[in-house]
Structures are given as C-alpha cells and as structure tokens.
Amino acid sequence: MTSKRSTILAAAAAGALMLSGCGGSSGQQPAPSSGDTTAPATVVWSTWGSPSELKRYEDFNSKFKEKHPNITVKLQSVPSYSDFHAKLLAQLTSKTAPDVFYVGDDKIGQFVDSGALLNVTDVLKAPNAVAPYDAFNPATFGAATNDDGIFAAPNDVNPDALWYDKTALKDAGITDDPATLAAAGKWTTDTFLAMNAKLKAKGKTGTMFWNYWATHYGWISSQGGKAYDGDKFVANTDPKSVAAVDQLGKLFQDKTFVVADTLPSGAGADSVFISHKAGFFAQGRYTIGTLKEAGKPENYDIVDWPSPDGTPPSTGLAASYLAINAATKVPDAAKLFWSEYLSAEGQKIRLAGGGNAVPSIKGADDVVLDGYPEHAQTFLDMRDRGFVNYAAEARVPGLSTDIAEKKFLPLYQGKATAQETLDGVADLIAKAK
C-alpha cells in the first residue's frame, strides 16, 4: 500500500520525466543469443526491499555471475517503496538510471507511457526464451503492455488469499473447514457470510481487507459482476456489480468486515489475526512469515474467495514488474540478466524457503508447495485465474488510491450508497483521462 503523499511525489517526478524524455530507443530489440557469448559488461539493477529480501537478491547475483562470468552485476537497493520510485524517476530524467529495475504495479503504466522502458516483446517470444511469454498468465502483464508491445514482465505476484484462523472459527462454533468446502465446490458466498455472522456474534471480526483496488474489484468479480469492459469502467451500470458493492459496503458498515488500513496503531491487522480476534484476513504469501514468528502456524490455512455457486472466481493479484531501461548501454547483457531473473530457475532462487511472493511464471511452482500452508496450491490456482489492476486505471498515477480513499472508504463508513460510490468512481476515471 502506498501513501497519498508518496503518490503525489511520484506523480510530480513523472511529470518531469515526461517533459524531459528518457533518451535511447524503445523499439523492439533482438532477443539474447543462446550460450554464454555475451561480451564483458556490467549490469546495474535496482529494487526496493527489506534486508532479508536483499539477501535473496544477492544470492541470485552470485549464481548469475557463476553462470555468466563475463557479466558483473551491481545491485542498487532502496528500502522504501515510495522513495524508490521517486529516485528512479529522477535518475531516468538525468539519464543515470540503472539498466534493469523493478516497477510497482501502481506505477508501471506511467513508466510505459513515458517511453523509458525497452520493448521486450521479442525477448519474451523468442524461440529460445528462458522466460517465455506463454509461461505467464497473460492477465498479469496489465498496464505493462500497449499497442506497441510489452515493456515489462511480472517478477512475482501475490494473490490475496483468504487466510483463516482455525482457532477463531472453532471459538465461533464453526465446524466446517473452508478449504475442504472449496475442494468440494461448496465454498459459496452464503457459506462464507454465515461463518462471518457467527464470528461477529462471538465478538470477533469476520474478515479483514485492505482498502485498495484488489478488494473492491475482487469482490465484484467474485460475485459475478464486471468492473471494466476493456478500458471502459462499467461497474456503475452493471446490476451485478452494483449489487456486489452494495453487499460489500453493508458488510463493512455493520463491522462484519473491517478495513485493515483503519485499525489503530498497536492493534493492527496482524496483531488482531494472531490473537484469534478475526476469522479471515485477505493477504498474500508474505503472511507466512508473520504466522511462523507468532508460533503455531498450523492454526492457519488459506482458501480462495467465495462465489455465489462455489465456482472458483478470478480475483486481484498484487504484482511488481521488472523492466529494462530503454537507454541502457549494455542491452544484450541487460536482456540476459532480465530473462534469467524472470525465469523459473531465477524465481526459485528468490522465492524458495518461505519467500514472500508467488512465482509469476510456471515451472517454479514447487517453491510454493513446500508444505505450508496446507492448501498452498490455492496460491497457484489464484495466480492462474487472477488479474492485475486494470490497465486503464493503472496508467494514471494515484488514480487507484484516490478511488479507494475518496470513494470506497466513505461507502465502508456508511457515508455513501453503492450507486453513488460507483458513479463517483466513473467520474474520477473520466476526469483522469
């Protein structure tokens, strides 16, 4: 989740980038040749991350160097997500940017539109590609694509699975296991909400959600609605979408659902969940670390989102992207590094042993199926069915944040109706064009 202040700073830097240009060519380039014939080069790449994440990145660098001794790899890391993008935009403006870099899913559209990214279509679709396009869920490219081609690829994803606390469910008198119901095709919206009602009756929170695009659009999709038709926002005119948002709003208003962002400091969502005060929590694979540190991780498991008839739905995927600087002076080495980083082997190195995300590419699935949680396959199933933020929205800096904070939060607080909310979203989108 990015703060509004960070979004404003990033948007300001993006404006400078658009005015100054980025140099280099964004046209399609040939894919790296097979074999280790790359000329000596140094590839500088950059990302954000915690100390533990950075250790994994350095491990990848070392293995890449062993495989390609002609290429030196240097990592530029920035701890803060928002600071990372502000710095990167400034670097692109001054033509001092790294050769390869991460881009967040709420930033990727503006980077593509700026012309700063190399077109990687031919790299992904080359006959000898080590990270072939067909190995990705095409819905995960999102705003990284336009009519000219593909300009970045998801380096990993995080489905917002419904983590559930077996202890909290038992305390509420719930005897059915959600994952078992899902496997039998019986994980319906009515069943899920009946469990939430029992949790609330026992003084617990039913489900905690973060207030961002994947929550409201994921709920719309899971309940049979449609938020966008191509680049056109249609939820405000689609009866199923209006009904789904009305239902969602009422569940937040009566405190069955809770907006995790609004919980007080010292009693945040993680604390609520590990103290058995909530039954469900919509989060990604990174939750594993929190639960293991808290002890007794066996008390928790995951399940997909419910649907009216129990059919597994398509829901939102948080993602980050790996891109190549269009102005790189070492394009062959940069494309080789980029490809191997995204490859199944590369993603295994970064995500194995309790990594905090789900591989975006098929072939690395065993890192998720390492024994925890019990129904970890759900992460992979959600990846293969899911979608990233809609390109029309993700191309506009700060738009998704404004929609969440200015339109959906008032709904959750009982200050607006579903129709007013969705009409307001449509107005925001229209004004942003």
- Summarised one tens digit per residue, pLDDT across range 305-357 is 999 999 999 999 999 999 999 999 999 999 999 999 999 999 999 898 767 89
Indicate the pLDDT class of residue 54, thresholds 50, 70 and 90: confident
Which residue type sits at 139?
A
Report helix, strand or coil for 188.
Answer: strand
The pLDDT of 281-290, averaged and rounded, is 95
pLDDT for the residue numbered 305: 98
- Tokens 């080590």 found at: 130
Q: What are 220's two structure tokens?
A: 């719309």
Indicate the pLDDT class of residue 241, thresholds 50, 70 and 90: very high
Indicate the pLDDT class of residue 51, thresholds 50, 70 and 90: confident
Q: What are 211's two structure tokens?
A: 């207030």
pLDDT for the residue numbered 12: 30
Q: Is the pLDDT of residue 220 over 80?
A: yes
Which distant-in-sequence residues (6+ apart) come within 8 Å of 43 by Cβ?
71, 72, 73, 74, 99, 100, 330, 333, 334, 337
Which residue type sits at 126?
A
% of the chain at pLDDT higher than 90:
85
Report helix, strand or coil for 228.
Answer: strand
The pLDDT of 405-419, averaged and rounded, is 98
- Tokens 């679709």 found at: 125
Pick the closest to residue 12 from 90, 84, 113 (CA basis). 90
Show the domains of the chain with their CATH numbers.
4-158+318-392 (3.40.190.10), 161-315+398-432 (3.40.190.10)
On average, the pLDDT of the chain sits at: 91
Comparing 49-53, 59-63, 378-382, the range with the smallest average pLDDT is: 49-53
The pLDDT of 52-67, averaged and rounded, is 90
CB-CB contact of 400 with 210 (8 Å): no
pLDDT for the residue numbered 50: 80
Q: What are 294's two structure tokens?
A: 């808290």
pLDDT for the residue numbered 41: 95
Indicate the pLDDT class of residue 17, thresholds 50, 70 and 90: very low
The 10s digit of each residue's pLDDT in 116-143 is: 999 999 999 999 999 999 999 999 999 9
Report helix, strand or coil for 22.
Answer: coil
